[in-house]
Each structure stands twice: as C-alpha cells, then as structure tokens.
Amino acid sequence: MADSQRFAVAVHTLMILAAHKAGEAGHPMTSAEMAKSVNANPVVLRRVISSLAQAGLVATRPGAHGGVWLAKAPNDIAMDQVRGAVDEGPLVCARTKINSDCPVAVAALDVIDSVSKRVDGAVRDSLALLTLADLVKQLPDSLTQACAATPPASPTLAA
C-alpha cells in the first residue's frame, strides 16, 4: 500500500512553495497554479495539501487571494513528516491471510512483522535527516532566485 505518487506530489508542492517563498502576507499560491507544474488535477493536489495542512506543514486560506503557503521554515520540515502525512501505510506489508492452524505460519507472521518494522524504521530514519531546505538547496541557484523575485503571474511556473 505504498505505490501512490502522493509523496512525490507532496514534495513537489513543498518545493514550489519554498522556492517561491510563498507566505500569507505576500502571495499564497493557488492549487490551480501548482497543478500546472505538477501536471495533475487541482483536486488531486488539494487532497495532498489537505493532508499536509492537517500535519501542520502548510497553511491555507480560502477566498479571493487565498491559497497555500508553508507553515514552517523549510529547515523545520523533514521528509519523514511529509511521508507520514500523506502515506501512512507500512512499506512492506505482512500477510493477513495465514493459515492460523499451522504453527510455522503463525510464528513466521511475527518474524515477518519484525522485518517490516525494521524496514519502516530505516526509511523513517533516512527521511528524518532530510529537510525541505536540503532539497531546495539542490535546485539550480538561478531558478530559486528567479522564483523568489517572482511577482504574481510568474513566468517560472506557467506552461
């Protein structure tokens, strides 16, 4: 239960917000704008944004001139929080349908469960060390500068 693209969409969205330095008192970005860059339906984006908002990573405001912005500094947004917000299932899932009359199967289930937990821990640990700020740093400098200086109706996002 993990082959969705929600995590990728979430990271993409957060990078856009960070690169454009979108803020409440400035120019929040709309889901429609960002949907163009992600090449997805605005509703899909809003579903992801909704999860991120519940996790306290972004804030939103409806109405004219409303939109989405980061609720925390990029340095304080770690990737494991993002994954936890949009994709809560375990990566490697155990079997639910074992034959409970078979003692080997019952014991194996526990063992496999421990493997699953181990993998999940490894994923979480590796993502916890990665912040949104780290990712934005990987963007070409020219790009982030262009975005930061962007007035509404930015040419850096449009198609």
Binding site for a copy of itself (CB under 8 A): 1-3, 5, 7-9, 11-12, 15-16, 19, 36-40, 79, 83, 89, 91-95, 97-99, 101-105, 107-108, 110-112, 114-115, 118-119, 121-123, 125-127, 130, 135, 138-140, 143, 147, 156-159
Per-residue x/- track, 53-82, DNA (CB under 7 A)? x------xxxxxxxxx--------------
Take residue 103 and report the two structure tokens written for it.
């003692």
Name the binder of 66 from DNA, a copy of itself, none, CB < 5-8 A by kind.
DNA
Sequence letter at residue 128: A
CA dihedral 41, 75, 89, 103 (to 10 degrees): 160
According to CB under 7 A, which one of 21, 37, 47, 124 is a site residue for DNA? 47
d(CA 19, CA 92): 33
Half-sphere exposure of 137 (CA within 13 A, CB side): 7
Take residue 33 and report the two structure tokens written for it.
């704008």
Among the listed ranges 14-22, 43-51, 111-119, 138-146, the one in contact with DNA (CB under 7 A) is 43-51
1 binds DNA (CB under 7 A): yes
49 binds DNA (CB under 7 A): yes
Half-sphere exposure of 117 (CA within 13 A, CB side): 6
d(CA 30, CA 154): 12
